[in-house]
Amino acid sequence: MEALKDFYEFYRPLQRRYDLRMFYKTNGKEAKITIRWRGKELVKVTEENTEACFIRAKRELEERMKKYEQQIETKEKAQRAGFYMDKIRKSYAEKQ
């Protein structure tokens, strides 16, 4: 169950940081993993094999969180740029 260990090593820090919820269901035919954040479904995976299910869930969660981290980084850069522009405008207005 190396895939399970890899999945949890990746998932646990994200779970703590973003308060993620994971639901895992299995029956004789298939395994299902659903990961939610703030009520929204981030990842939903269904596979016949449990190990394949965890591998795919990890891969999809990595992709989703990478996009989210990029969005946050872009937003923070824009906020910093706006803050500095406000400071420049204010100092320019004081000089006038």
Q: What is the pTM of this model?
A: 0.72
Q: How many Cα atoms within 13 Å fall on the side-chain side of residue 6? A: 14
Mean pLDDT of 54-78: 88
Percent of the chain with pLDDT over 90: 48
The pLDDT, as a whole number, for residue 26 is 93
pLDDT, tens digit (0-9, with 9 covering 90-100), for 31-47: 999 999 988 998 999 99
Residue 60: is its pLDDT beyond 80?
Answer: yes
Determine contact, residues 43/61, Cβ cutoff 8 Å. yes
pLDDT, tens digit (0-9, with 9 covering 90-100), for 77-91: 888 777 777 777 777
Tokens linked to 35:
């990961």
Backbone CA torsion sign across 41, 20, 8, 6 = positive
What is residue 41's three-state secondary structure? strand
Which of these CATH numbers, 3.30.160, 1.10.287, 2.60.40, 3.30.43, describes 2-95?
3.30.160
Residue 30: partners with Cβ closer than 8 Å, 6 or more residues away: 46, 47, 48, 53
